[in-house]
């Protein structure tokens, strides 16, 4: 069910190059560059700064009317020269915009020509290109395309096969990235986690401005991804759909793990975002099998405390109706979490168009999937608002763009995902793993209790 007019007016998504820039910030020494107009870079910088509360440098080839007609070759070369002279990056990560894609700009050719002209130049940075026109995808697909492009460009079979694993972590908060790294260490697993923007988008306070913050997945680690023992991808849908379908630029769109499996025979294991008990159990089992060790006692106790909390709070959430929205894989994970706590997901909506949301929800929720769950892909917030008037949910779970719906219906909203612009601390929002689910459940229950207190004519001090 898609209303293209309302979707274009208030879509439940952001632009594809925005997602690509987030992923590219997960590479050590990388500077993102947009091949297109200056306005695109300015908009994305502002949008990301409002969420992460960190400086964000994004270069642009700065299209003009002349560039749009005759092509952006000259602007591209000048832009690359300026980036190298001012930033000295290890990687220049390039994403295309609508304008460049509309005129048919062959960015990969431009990269090849630049590298040919400057062959032998010392310190020439690596260049990565992700095709990300916003009229054919979401910020989530742009993120996944950038992850794929980075691995496709840098992965090399040169060297000896290692015992390390590739852990492709998905579009998650910086705090959740740090937690995934902690889990890998606790299992004794040598993991190449990508993309790792846990420091580049959540840094310490600086004494002086740092144009390229420290942190990120090392380029050498990405090169060795072709020699890994196994790849683990978090997410069932990833970039497997969208308006472009599975065919893009005359080749089959793949995830990073699929590419490494097809080109270098690196085994691939895929599971969902580990939100809640069921999905976290799956990740713990995978890591236990890979490391050939039992799940550490630390996580067994975390799981036990989470179950105890579910019991404590069940009476407050049981039967509550929720509308859940956001990126496709996040929506699936949040629906799984909600269902296992006793909350009824009555609508799961996303701006993505993979066509896989309903079947993925059914397989993930299993016996918790109810026939009354509605799904919506290619959805706008106007469509979500219309559905909410009919469904009368008790709460919303998703990013802050749904706030005006919650305000109109006078119901609470649990803010998570991207973007969160009306609160601080979005980069520290932790929902993955048993502890992440514990924090999310506490926040959910307390938000519902606060709402009940606020609406009570007498008020409560004890519940």
Residues 6+ apart with CB under 8 A from 454: none
CA gap 325, 327 in Å, rounded = 7
The span from the CA of 454 to the CA of 182, in Å, is 39
Residue pLDDT, tens place only, 177-215: 999 999 999 999 999 999 999 999 999 998 888 899 999
Establish how many alpha carbons lie within 13 A of residue 315's alpha carbon, considering only the half-sphere containing its beta carbon. 2
Is a pLDDT exceeding 70 seen at residue 243? no
Q: Which residues contact 179 (CB under 8 A, 6 or more apart)?
A: 430, 432, 433, 435, 436
Mean pLDDT of 384-399: 97
User: Mean per-residue pLDDT for 135-141?
Assistant: 90
pLDDT band at 24 (very low <50, low <70, confident <90, very high): very high
Q: How far apart are CA 82 and CA 403, in angstroms?
A: 41
Domain-wise residue ranges, the chain? 4-271, 299-455
Quick: pLDDT tens for 394-424: 999 999 999 999 999 999 999 999 999 999 9
Look at residue 98 in the predicted model and tell me its pLDDT: 84
Note the pTM of the prediction, 2 decimals.
0.94
Q: For the structural domain made of 4-271, what CATH number should be given? A: 3.40.50.1980
216 neighbors 30 (Cβ within 8 angstroms): yes
Q: What percentage of the chain reaches a pLDDT higher than 70?
A: 94
299-455 has the same fold as 4-271: yes
Token pair belonging to 120:
């032998």
Which CATH fold would you assign to the domain 299-455? Rossmann fold (3.40.50)
DSSP H or E segment with residue 129? strand 126-130
Higher pLDDT, 67 or 214: 214
Distance of CA 75 to the CA centre of its chain: 30
């Amino acid at each position: 069910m898609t209303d293209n007019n309302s979707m274009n007016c208030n879509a439940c998504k952001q632009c594809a190059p925005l997602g690509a820039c987030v992923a590219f910030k997960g590479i050590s020494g990388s500077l993102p560059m947009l091949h297109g107009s200056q306005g695109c870079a300015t908009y994305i910088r502002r949008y990301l700064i409002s969420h992460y509360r960190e400086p964000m440098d994004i270069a642009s080839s700065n299209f003009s009317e002349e560039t749009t007609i005759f092509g952006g070759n000259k602007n591209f070369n000048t832009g690359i020269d300026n980036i190298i002279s001012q930033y000295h990056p290890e990687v220049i990560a390039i994403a295309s915009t609508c304008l460049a894609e509309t005129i048919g700009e062959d960015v990969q050719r431009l990269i090849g020509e630049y590298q040919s002209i400057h062959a032998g130049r010392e310190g020439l940075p690596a260049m990565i290109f992700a095709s990300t026109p916003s009229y054919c995808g979401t910020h989530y697909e742009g993120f996944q395309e950038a992850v794929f492009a980075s691995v496709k460009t840098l992965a090399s079979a040169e060297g000896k096969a290692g015992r390390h694993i590739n852990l492709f972590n998905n579009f998650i908060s910086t705090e959740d990235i740090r937690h995934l790294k902690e889990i890998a260490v606790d299992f004794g697993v040598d993991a190449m986690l990508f993309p790792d923007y846990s420091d580049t988008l959540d840094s310490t306070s600086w004494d002086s401005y740092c144009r390229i913050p420290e942190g990120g997945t090392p380029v050498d680690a990405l090169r060795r991804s072709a020699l890994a023992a196994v790849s683990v991808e978090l997410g069932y849908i990833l970039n497997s759909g969208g308006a472009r379908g599975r065919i893009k630029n005359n080749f089959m769109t793949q995830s990073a793990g699929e590419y490494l499996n097809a080109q270098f025979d690196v085994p691939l294991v895929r599971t969902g975002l580990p939100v809640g008990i069921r999905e976290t159990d799956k990740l713990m089992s995978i890591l236990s099998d890979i490391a050939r060790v039992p799940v550490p006692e630390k996580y067994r106790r975390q799981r036990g405390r989470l179950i105890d909390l579910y019991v404590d709070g069940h009476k407050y959430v049981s039967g509550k109706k929720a509308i859940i929205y956001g990126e496709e894989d996040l929506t699936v994970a949040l629906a799984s979490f909600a269902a296992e706590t006793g909350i009824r997901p009555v609508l799961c909506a996303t701006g993505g168009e993979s066509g896989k949301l309903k079947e993925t929800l059914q397989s993930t929720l299993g016996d918790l999937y109810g026939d009354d769950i509605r799904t919506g892909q290619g959805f706008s917030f106007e469509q979500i608002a219309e559905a909410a008037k009919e469904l009368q949910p008790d709460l919303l779970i998703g990013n802050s763009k749904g706030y005006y719906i919650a305000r109109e219906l006078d119901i609470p909203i649990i803010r998570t995902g991207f973007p969160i612009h009306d609160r601080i601390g979005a980069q520290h929002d932790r929902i993955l793993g048993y502890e992440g689910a514990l924090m999310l459940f506490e926040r959910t229950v307390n938000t519902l209790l606060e709402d009940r207190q606020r609406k009570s004519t007498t008020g409560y001090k004890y519940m």
